[in-house]
Amino acid sequence: MDITLSGRGQFTLNKGFLEHLGVKPGDQVSIDKMPDGKLEISAKKDKWTVDEARKLFRDLFAENKIHATIDEMNAAIAAGYVKSAMAGRK
pLDDT of residue 52: 77
Q: Per-residue pLDDT for the chain (90 aa), expressed as one digit of tens each? A: 788 899 999 988 888 888 888 888 888 888 889 999 999 998 887 667 778 778 877 777 776 666 777 888 888 888 776 666 555 555
Phi, psi torsion values for 29, nearest 5 degrees: -120, 155
Q: What DSSP string runs through 68-81?
A: --HHHHHHHHHHHH
Domain limits of the chain? Answer: 1-45, 50-87
CATH number of 1-45: 2.10.260.10
